[in-house]
Amino acid sequence: MRLFPVFALCVSLCSASTVFGETTMPAVTVDNRSLPWMKGACEKLQTQLIAKYGESQRTRVERGLRQVAEFWRSGDGDEASFEDFVLSNFAGDQSTLNTMFNRFQGLVEQLNGHMQEITREFRQQADLDAGPVLPFDDLFAGYDPSAHAVDDFFNNKLAFVVLLNFPLTTLEERLTQGPNWSRQQWAEVRLAQMFGKRIPAEVNLEVARAAAESDSYISQYNLWMFHLVDQNGQRLFPPKLRLLSHWNLRDEIKADYADHEHGLAKQRCIQQVMERIITQTIPGIVVNNPRFDWNPWTNEVRLATEPDADSGNTQYGNFTNAPEPSTRYAMLLKTFQASRKVDPYSPTAPSLIARRFDEDREIPEQRVREMLEQVVTSPLLPKLAALIQARLGRPLEPFDVWYDGFRSRGAYTEAQLDAIVAKKYPTAGAFQKDIPNILMKFGFSPEKAQYVADNIVVDPARGSGHAMGASMRSAKAHLRTRVESTGMNYKGFNIAIHEMGHNVEQTFSLNEIDDTLLEGVPNTAFTEALAMVLQGHDLEILGLAAPDEQTNTLKTLNDFWNTYEISGVALVDMDVWHWMYDHPEASPQQLRDATVAIAKNIWNKYYARVFGKRDVVLLAVYSHMIDSFLYLPDYPIGHLIAFQVEEQMRNAGAIGPEFERMAKMGHVTPDMWMIHATGKPVGAEALLSATDKALTSLGAMKN
Ligand SMILES: [Zn+2]
């Protein structure tokens, strides 16, 4: 249900990006007190409509008039046109209302579906492995044909038809009354939500501008690793290694566990760099600049003695190690200030925080906080930490929050797997042809497997791969996968199975659902969870042995440790947004100090007891915090959801029928979806009890 095409785009596995402006929201009070005739007109119309359609329509009449009046501006028409509009468009009996609902449902599907087709076609050159991308191709790729759809629908009054006849709801109502609504009532609620907000174009533009500016800052924040010099003047990293903060830095820490000689020194060095970024004591001149050597402990900066990049001949006569002037926090503040401008247009969700939790996630913030605290205060953590310590053979250090050593080596080498996959899938077409077989291995019946396969088109991807679903039943889902000239490799195959999982979900949740207004899943965490279930069985699809018990046990511990880490990161993100709302006039320096204090506080509360060290700031290093508008809580919630879905699949045995049953629930609240899928609401229990079992089976509970 949306006027904006959304597609699952797994940039790196499982981190789908948010689509901005996609949020829908309940009642917005545009100040109609400036329309002096509105109150009287509504009273008159109310009497007229109830006289015409009967007392049974009173609640609907009152609600419809209130909703339309809230959004009506002087430019929409004078008193006479308002009255005329209401009298002509109120559906006063069930049969007319049903006709209206069905017509809107069908036509919204057509609009979304065709917009999605245009978007997919316009992105083709950028997304597919189809020769060079010319500058104008990027312009096509960036074009959003539905950018003005909501405005258009207010201007031609179709939005007002919806608001006059269908209910806007609060999260509270959807949570408490939603379980008793019929499917059509749910679809009507989603229809109304499309027009629950009428934000002035200049406000939307400001949000987009802040998003673009912070995104650009983040996307160029590289560290040139060869130029990091340690306390002994040693270089730890190879030439030309350029790492983007924070993703590549974090992943380097993870990879360094395999480097028994220099890994630890590298990890300590990266921690030092991360701390400098967070506290903004990093010399501004070393950011994205390979011309200087930098000692992140002493902060000494020198002209690079050994250049390792084609850096031109820029002269640096005078340079200093002056710290970056809190630009990181200036960027974050801009996203906050822009978000605040939306607030007056959303009285029932009057902050970005409320819009994120009540509208996008549809899980109240307090409940999310409780779930995360359940993870970070778990009594299992000290036991798991002791196990990690034993495996490392040294006390934990703060960067071990990214410990990556629970992955057990499989029975096959990457090269062996590459050879098996390349032989089986020399081309994208070979993979396409095999989809029905693959689906049957997951337990889908031959007919169902063929049906789903017929709705998936495989294209060769320019990047690593992604899935792009359809938004109308007459169109198909697209699976983009990377195939080298030597054939598909194992990594590409693993991603292709993940993306195929998205396509299977997209097909069921659009083509097989009762009401297309309920198309999709509650949020991206659900489609990621379903995709990961299929991805986790990739070896069996190749006819190889499934991961053994030990591997599964270690995977559970790995999931739990990752959830622990990202829960703290999310709690920092949440507290920082609250601080900004409490201090709307703060300077970048004040926000920097507050963020550092919040990060230390969360660490001291939930990590110090596990790591034996206080006042660590690392949890504030995530780049999403700067440019993603309070997106980080989606990750830990996603881990919990994935675990619940996986456990249900394990218990059910055959994946196919269970996958289909879950995916057909559609876009209801996360708790309703999860109760339908597993019998329980979204929560941390499944992960915690599996971790408990895993620790016991490893004998770690003895001490
Ligand atoms: Zn994905």
Rounded distance from Cα 501 to ligand 1 centre (Å): 8
Residue 379, pLDDT > 50, answer yes
45-79: pLDDT as tens digits: 999 999 999 999 999 999 999 999 999 999 999 99
The pair of three-digit structure tokens given for residue 305, joined into one six-digit string: 């003695």
Averaged pLDDT for residues 361-379: 97
Phi, psi of 299 (to 5 degrees): 70, 15
For 439: left if phi > 0, alpha if psi spans -120 to 50, otherwise beta; the answer is: alpha
Percentage of the chain modeled with pLDDT above 70: 93
Rounded distance from Cα 452 to ligand 1 centre (Å): 18
Residue 11, pLDDT > 80, answer no
Could you write out the DSSP letters of every residue in 637-648?
A: HHHHHHHHHHHH
Which pLDDT band holds residue 29 (cuts at 50, 70, 90)? very low
Rounded distance from Cα 469 to ligand 1 centre (Å): 12
Rounded distance from Cα 392 to ligand 1 centre (Å): 32
**What's residue 309's pLDDT?**
67
The pair of three-digit structure tokens given for residue 419, joined into one six-digit string: 């050879």
CA 565 from chain centre, in angstroms, equals: 17
**What's the rounded Cα separation, in Å, for the pair 131 and 144?**
23
Rounded distance from Cα 8 to ligand 1 centre (Å): 6
Rounded distance from Cα 463 to ligand 1 centre (Å): 14
Measured at the CA of 417, the angle between CA 416 and CA 423, to 5 degrees, comes to 95
Return the H-helix or E-strand segment holding 694.
Answer: helix 685-697
152-174: pLDDT as tens digits: 999 999 999 999 999 999 999 99
Residue 115, pLDDT > 50, answer yes
Rounded distance from Cα 309 to ligand 1 centre (Å): 34
Could you write out the DSSP letters of every residue in 111-177?
A: HHHHHHHHHHHHHHHHHBSSSPPPHHHHHHHH--TTTTHHHHHHHTSHHHHHHHHS----HHHHHHT
DSSP 612: S
Rounded distance from Cα 531 to ligand 1 centre (Å): 6
**What's the rounded Cα separation, in Å, for the pair 284 and 295?**
13
Rounded distance from Cα 244 to ligand 1 centre (Å): 22
Residue that has been written with the tokens 């599996």 in this structure: 690
Measured at the CA of 479, the angle between CA 478 and CA 483, to 5 degrees, comes to 135
Q: How far is CA 397 from CA 325, 393, 603, 612, 618, in A?
A: 29, 12, 13, 8, 11
Neighbours of 525 (CB within 10 A): 24
Residue 7, pLDDT > 80, answer no
Rounded distance from Cα 526 to ligand 1 centre (Å): 10
Rounded distance from Cα 477 to ligand 1 centre (Å): 14
Rounded distance from Cα 330 to ligand 1 centre (Å): 32
**What's the rounded Cα separation, in Å, for the pair 668 and 526?**
11
**What's residue 407's pLDDT?**
75
193-224: pLDDT as tens digits: 999 889 988 898 999 999 999 999 999 999 99
Averaged pLDDT for residues 370-388: 97
Residue 316, pLDDT > 80, answer no
Q: How far is CA 52 from CA 60, 62, 290, in A?
A: 13, 14, 77
Residue that has been written with the tokens 């291995």 in this structure: 441
Residue 83, pLDDT > 70, answer yes
**What's the rounded Cα separation, in Å, for the pair 597 and 386?**
28
**What's residue 408's pLDDT?**
67
650-700: pLDDT as tens digits: 888 889 999 999 999 999 999 999 999 999 999 999 999 999 999 999 875
The neighbouring-strand residues paired with 235 are 229
The neighbouring-strand residues paired with 487 are 484
Averaged pLDDT for residues 558-566: 96
Which pLDDT band holds residue 531 (cuts at 50, 70, 90)? very high
Residues with CB under 5 A from ligand 1 (ion): 10, 14, 528, 531
Averaged pLDDT for residues 244-252: 93
**What's the rounded Cα separation, in Å, for the pair 16 and 144?**
18
**What's the rounded Cα separation, in Å, for the pair 159 and 153?**
5
Residue 19, pLDDT > 60, answer no
Which pLDDT band holds residue 648 (cuts at 50, 70, 90)? very high
Rounded distance from Cα 414 to ligand 1 centre (Å): 22
Residue 1, pLDDT > 60, answer no
**What's the rounded Cα separation, in Å, for the pair 620 and 493?**
34
302-314: pLDDT as tens digits: 998 877 766 555 6
**What's residue 18's pLDDT?**
27
**What's residue 329's pLDDT?**
98
Three-state secondary structure call for residue 558: helix
CA-nearest of 250, 226, 255 to 238 is 226
**What's the rounded Cα separation, in Å, for the pair 255 and 259?**
8
Residues 278/599, Cβ–Cβ less than 8 Å: yes
Residue 231, pLDDT > 90, answer no
Rounded distance from Cα 524 to ligand 1 centre (Å): 8
Q: Comparing 17-31, 547-561, 573-587, which segment has the lowest mean pLDDT? A: 17-31
Rounded distance from Cα 407 to ligand 1 centre (Å): 20
Which pLDDT band holds residue 516 (cuts at 50, 70, 90)? very high
Averaged pLDDT for residues 503-526: 96
**What's residue 34's pLDDT?**
75
Peptide bond into 227 cis (omega under 30): no
Return the H-helix or E-strand segment holding 651.
Answer: helix 634-652
Residues 147/173, Cβ–Cβ less than 8 Å: no
**What's residue 314's pLDDT?**
60
- What global pTM score does this model have? 0.88
Residue 17, pLDDT > 50, answer no
Neighbours of 77 (CB within 10 A): 15
Residues 262/255, Cβ–Cβ less than 8 Å: no
Residues 6+ apart with CB under 8 A from 362: 171, 174, 175, 522, 523, 669, 670
Rounded distance from Cα 461 to ligand 1 centre (Å): 15
Q: How far is CA 394 from CA 73, 272, 585, in A?
A: 67, 19, 45
Rounded distance from Cα 612 to ligand 1 centre (Å): 36
Q: Mean pLDDT for the chain?
A: 91
Residue 480, pLDDT > 50, answer yes
**What's residue 482's pLDDT?**
86
Rounded distance from Cα 12 to ligand 1 centre (Å): 8
Phi, psi of 487 (to 5 degrees): 105, 175
Phi, psi of 701 (to 5 degrees): -85, -5
Return the amino acid letter for 283.
P
What is the torsional sign of CA 612, 618, 624, 629? positive
Averaged pLDDT for residues 607-633: 96
Q: Comparing 15-19, 248-252, 558-562, 618-622, which segment has the lowest mean pLDDT? A: 15-19
Rounded distance from Cα 357 to ligand 1 centre (Å): 21
**What's residue 552's pLDDT?**
87
**What's the rounded Cα separation, in Å, for the pair 318 and 596?**
31
Rounded distance from Cα 443 to ligand 1 centre (Å): 21
424-462: pLDDT as tens digits: 999 999 999 999 999 999 999 999 999 999 999 999 988
Residue 410, pLDDT > 80, answer no
Averaged pLDDT for residues 503-529: 95
The pair of three-digit structure tokens given for residue 378, joined into one six-digit string: 């778990």
Rounded distance from Cα 530 to ligand 1 centre (Å): 9
Crossing angle for the helix pair 201-219 and 327-342, nearest 10 degrees? 160
Q: Count the helices and strands in the chain (H runs, E runs).
A: 30, 7
